[in-house]
Amino acid sequence: MFRVQVNRLVTLVAVVGLASGAMSFGRSHDAASAAEPDVEAAIADIKAKTEALVAAARPRLDALSPQERLASPPVIWRVPGAITEFRDCAGCPHMVVIPAGEFTMGSPPAEQQAEAQHRVTIAAPFAVSKFEITFDEWEACVRDSACSNIRPNDEGWGRGQHPVIHMSFDTAKAYVAWLTKTTGKTYRLPSEAEREYVTRAGTTTPYWWGSSISGSQANYDSRMTHAGGVDGVWLQKTVPVDTFAPNPWGLYNVHGNVYEWMEDCQDFDNAKNPRDGTAKTTGDCSHRMARGGAWSTIHAADLRAAARVSSSATERDTGFGFRVVRTLD
């Protein structure tokens, strides 16, 4: 079984939208090539309009005291009617456009286990994969000879649309390097702040749907459950990446199934994380942070939006996969 160092704690955050339709979805686009002009034009448009929203909101936010800002609900700068989904190539991951925003990262005193609260401002939109990276998506990298030396075992659970497993931090980085080269766009692993932000999707509870969790909502060992909801379900394997309901921003399995590697180096002092949403690249970089929980996680508190674990960057196990981010440059 995989070895993780757990820093138990959670985060509560509130939700508010400066743009109308903050929780709605606009049009979707499934690109067949690496740089379709309409996708890039739509991205340029959303970036420009987001800059205007952020500029208009900043004076009010900056007038708050640090404590007032920390206690404020999340602010989501969603551009109404903007593109929400795309793909950069036929075999590339399905990407969801995430609005810019500001939120309180970490967990409140009632939940805290080691996740100090601080305010994070993500001033520009970015895109994150709708699903955990699948065996099918990994095989595209293998066929292109960029990942040909890494053929992970599926443990008999299924390949195809199951999340690729036995992924180390380094193998995940090999995949994003291939995506970047293939598409000409900047792909990378998420930062911890980005992962918590998209997991919450404007919500304030430990899990995006509320304060308790059960095996009917996420894939984990629910025989021991945090905050009620005990039902004894344990599937003892991964499930296809489109299993269970998506969160309000359309992302699947942000709680459970596989741990997802973060770009951040190991540092359990959450207060040291950058305030601009970027990854922490100092500390013990031989170990990296991971988020989300896995099929084998027995403590439901470790699936919370704010929960943090770390492991050796070379760790490869059935509980480790990843999700990718594309910078909208």
Q: What is the DSSP string of 215-245?
A: TTTSBS-TTS-TTS-------SS---TT-S-
Beta strands in 106-141 (DSSP E): 118-122, 126-129
Q: Which two tokens stand for residue 184?
A: 């000409």
Let me know if 236 is exposed, middle or buried by CB neighbors in 10 A (0-12, 13-18, 19+): exposed
Lowest-confidence segment of 9-13, 72-76, 319-323 by average pLDDT: 9-13
Q: What Å distances lie between residue 190 and 85, 169, 255, CA to CA?
A: 17, 12, 15
Set out the domains of the chain in order of their start, with CATH numbers: 5-327 (3.90.1580.10)
Q: Which residue has the tokens 């409140």?
A: 108
Helix (H, G, I), strand (E, B) or coil at 273: coil
Question: What's the mean per-residue pLDDT of the chain?
Answer: 88
Tell me whether strands 126-129 and 95-98 are parallel, antiparallel or unpaired: antiparallel
Phi, psi torsion values for 266, nearest 5 degrees: -65, 125
Residue 182 C-alpha from the chain's centroid: 22
Task: Report, in angstroms and rounded to the nearest whole number, the Rg of the chain calculated over CA atoms.
Answer: 19
Among 226, 237, 207, 214, CA closest to 299: 226
pTM of the model: 0.89
Gap between the Cα atoms of 108 and 35, Å rounded: 42
Tell me whether strands 100-105 and 118-122 are parallel, antiparallel or unpaired: antiparallel
Residue 294 has pLDDT above 70, yes or no: yes
Q: What is the pLDDT of residue 270?
A: 80
Residue 12 has pLDDT above 50, yes or no: no
Residue 262's pLDDT band, with cuts at 50, 70 and 90, is very high
Q: What angle do CA 270, 295, 136 make, to 5 degrees?
A: 100
Torsion angle of the four alpha carbons 32, 38, 43, 46, in this order, in degrees rounded to the nearest 10: -140
Residue 281, amino acid? T
Task: Name the packing angle between helices 169-183 and 135-143 (round to 10°).
Answer: 60
Sheet holding 75-77, edge to edge: 16-17, 75-77, 100-105, 118-122
Q: What is the pLDDT of residues 90-118, one digit of tens each?
A: 999 999 999 999 999 999 888 877 799 99
Residue 57 has pLDDT above 60, yes or no: yes
Q: What is the pLDDT of residue 230?
A: 54
Q: What is the pLDDT of residues 138-180, one digit of tens each?
A: 999 999 999 988 899 999 999 999 999 999 999 999 999 999 9
Q: What is the pLDDT of residues 195-247, one digit of tens each?
A: 999 999 999 899 999 999 999 999 999 886 644 545 678 999 999 999 999 99
Sheet holding 259-266, edge to edge: 5-7, 308-312, 284-291, 259-266, 320-321
Residue 269's pLDDT band, with cuts at 50, 70 and 90, is confident
Which carries the bigger pLDDT value, residue 276 or residue 111?
A: 276
Q: What is the pLDDT of residue 149?
A: 84
Residue 19 has pLDDT above 50, yes or no: no
Gap between the Cα atoms of 209 and 291, Å rounded: 17
